[in-house]
Chain A
Amino acid sequence: MMENAWIIPLFPLLSFLFLILFGKRLKEASAYIGILLTLASLVYSLLVLFERFTAPTYKAEGVWLTIGDVQLTAGFEVNQLNALMLVIVSLVSFLVHTYSKGYMNGDDRFPVFYAYLGLFTFAMLGLVISPNLLQTYFFWELVGLGSFLLIGFYFYKEEAKAAAKKAFIMTRIGDVGLLIGMILLFWQVGSFEYDEIFAAVEAGSISATMITLTAILIFIGAVGKSGQFPLHTWLPDAMEGPTPVSALIHAATMVAAGVYLVAALFPLFTASETALMTVAIIGAFTAIFAASIGLVQKDIKRVLAYSTVSQLGYMMLALGSAGYVAGVFHLMTHAFFKALLFLAAGSVIHAVHTQNIEHMGGLWKKLRITGPLFLIGTLAISGVPLFSGFFSKDEILIAAWAHGNTVLFWLAVIAAFFTAFYMFRLFFMVFAGEARSDMKNVHESPSVMTMPMVVLGVLAVVAGYVNTPWFGTFLGDWLVEGNHSLGHGHIEGPAWIMVVATVVSLLGIFLAWLMYGKRSLSRDWLTSRAPLTYKTLYNKYYIDEFYQLTIVTGTKFFSSFLRFLEVFLVEGIVKGVAGITSALGKLGSKFQNGQIQTYGTMAFVGLAILVVIYAVTGGYLK
């Protein structure tokens, strides 16, 4: 099966091409094509994954370009990480395809939506089986394009348009870093191949400074894609896209691409302590930073978006703490429970037609399926024991502790507390309490929407058991098998960490219950006690405003200066050249008037000029 793994991304591509060409005629039926083809991808991915459990890594490459002595190759590789990612991506994509059948029902551009989903899935699957950086970069950009198209799907909405542009440009800033890092690596190693890069790193043929530099530059690419601070602002805005898109792209797959990239290049990062530290610090800071913003947001999807940013920060922290397994593990569990949360949120929005959680409430009784599923997701993300998030988050905390990042460890613990608090705040505000008067026609979503959620709900519970300290670290052992540079499959940590994590998350839940469930604490104590803090948090630390004021204004100023140059200098020169040419042409055509005397005059004057020049310079002038 693995020899033909390249076929996996082709199914969604086929779907994309087919729907772009015939989507208009197929209308609603196009959903079935998309669903079937992604199902094919999923089945194939699962087969590949199962085969990979026993078989060694398979890699196939062909020469793509030969430039001088350098050969650029293209191909695919199935190693543990890739196989796992294949399954995650195709699974979530398949579920989202199915879910969208219900969610997007009645939209005018229904087939286009499926086509875009196909394109994105193709790009993402292509990304995770790329054996070299160059190919990765291609698909990386293609993923960005898919994201751009899907965020801007409601392009007639100003916010959606702006968000799409913002997402594209912000990630592009990161991509520049990635590109430069790539080029530097190529310059140093002479190859884009992961294997050769790792070999060169291990052999020590690259200087330590260069490793650090390239690793950090590549990490900047990951920062852009994974919404890490300071390039995180696009991710919450990207929630303007349809909710299934948020679930697919901005929870499970694309934003995880940054984490995947760092994981794929993990040997490079481990070679530089500075680079690892940078990753860890950025990750931990993002985790707590985004979590604190999530505390006060009022839009259901924005809360989830900030929690995504925060969770991605967790993954980065894990990777930065040399916890390869922990990072990938959390990537997997997070993909399941965050996709679940988004789909459930979509279901809620579908039911009540608003995204403001202050206008919701008492939905528990009305949404009998969505409610419990949302609760499962919330419990998982909060790290309540026995749910998947608990195990993966625990792994991360242990990794951070074991790596000696005490400060970052405590930051992560606080972030975990925040996470539990704001997730349950969200849950209580949406599902508990009295039903608002204007919520009359609330009804459960169709089964085509609930079924994917049920699947994800099951996974959100059980996915954690593949790698637990109690029943064996199966996933971890498998992931690092045959590759020493990835670290240990399981990092031993003191048992009290697990206790602390549990206590902290339960504390957060309890506090949220007190404030939003039981209402024994005033909801407004933060607003009234520390209005400044509240405002800062509500406005997301004014990061957007800061960017607006500094970078955007600066760029605008600079552009107007360039425009000035363009209009007066460049255009002046261009117009001058054109004017001179046309004037010369007009003059020349004036001479071509068919009159023999004009021709004679010109010929003679030319001769006279030559004779005079010769007379003056020729030397017979004494």
Chain B
Amino acid sequence: MTFSGEFLAFMSLALVAVIGGVLLLNLTKVVHMVVALVFTFVSIAGIYVLLSAEFVAAVQILIYSGAITIIMLFGIMLTRHNDTSEPQTGRWRKLLLFLGVLGFAFAVYIGIYNLDIAQTPTDLHVNNTEQIGIELYSKFIIPFEVTSVLLLVALIGSIVLAKRDDEKEAEEE
């Protein structure tokens, strides 16, 4: 097995992503967890590049490392996090879940391990963004438009949910 550049890049990116995930599980402070996950997201963007998906990689960095992480940080700051104590119940649940996850991972890994797909050369890396644009505006035009509606609904819904209900609170006071 030769240590090609692609392999080294994959290994380092995968390592960073997994470490980010593990830190998410093990850190105690909420902000640290989110920051740890930024590493994971960025590494995944790198993985996308390796998979000749430059546009998706760019979107990944923009949306995840940028938007979502910031939203989450806002969410954390707007709420109170004074208790870092461990939950009293749930030891057994955690153990059970851990075993379940292990079993699941084992079963799926067997499937992955036995996977054998012949690699065929692709031209995805050539004008990647252009290809996506052409597909998106021709074949996937309806889902694309529906997605815009979804985003609009999410936008309005979020505002309605998060807005202070002044009238009600005025009544209560």
Contacts and interface: CB of A to CB of B under 8 A. Distances in A.
- Chains A and B directly touch (beta carbon < 8 Å): yes
Interface of A: 597-598, 601, 604-605, 607-609, 611-612, 614-615, 620-622
Interface of B: 90, 93, 96-97, 99-101, 103-104, 106-108, 110-111, 114
Nearest to B113: A622
Contacts of B103: 608-609, 611-612
A609 B103 CA distance: 7
Contacts of A621: 110
A608 B101 contact: yes
B96 A601 contact: yes
B110 A605 contact: no
Contacts, number: 41
Nearest to A601: B97
A608 B110 contact: no
A621 B101 CA distance: 19
The secondary structure that dominates the A interface is helix
Nearest to B93: A601
A232 B100 CA distance: 76
Contact of A620 (B99, B101, B104, B114): B114
Contacts of B111: 615, 620
Given A604-B104, A612-B106, 14 more contacts: A597-B90, A597-B93, A598-B93, A601-B93, A601-B96, A604-B100, A608-B100, A608-B101, A608-B104, A609-B100, A612-B103, A614-B107, A620-B111, A621-B110
B92 to A, nearest CB: 10
A605 B95 CA distance: 11
A607 B111 CA distance: 16
B107 to A, nearest CB: 4
Contacts of B97: 601, 604-605
A47 to B, nearest CB: 88
Contact of B107 (A597, A601, A612): A612
B100 A601 contact: yes
A598 B106 CA distance: 22
Contacts of B104: 604, 607-608, 611-612
26 contacts: A597-B90, A597-B93, A601-B93, A601-B96, A604-B97, A604-B104, A605-B99, A605-B100, A608-B101, A608-B103, A609-B100, A609-B103, A611-B103, A611-B107, A611-B108, A612-B104, A612-B107, A614-B107, A615-B106, A615-B110, A615-B111, A620-B110, A620-B111, A620-B114, A621-B110, A622-B114
A427 to B, nearest CB: 91
Contacts of A612: 103-104, 106-107
* The 3 nearest A-B residue pairs measured at CB: A615-B107, A605-B100, A608-B100
A147 to B, nearest CB: 67
A604 B105 CA distance: 12
B2 to A, nearest CB: 27
A608 B106 CA distance: 10
A622 B116 CA distance: 13
Nearest to A615: B107
B143 to A, nearest CB: 28
Nearest to B94: A601
Contacts of B100: 601, 604-605, 608-609
Nearest to B111: A620
Contacts of A615: 106-107, 110-111
Contacts of B101: 604, 608
B101 to A, nearest CB: 7
A497 to B, nearest CB: 97
A621 B111 CA distance: 8
A614 B104 CA distance: 11
A597 B99 CA distance: 16
Contacts of A614: 107
Contacts of B90: 597
Contacts of B93: 597-598, 601
Nearest to A616: B107
Contacts of A598: 93
Nearest to B104: A608
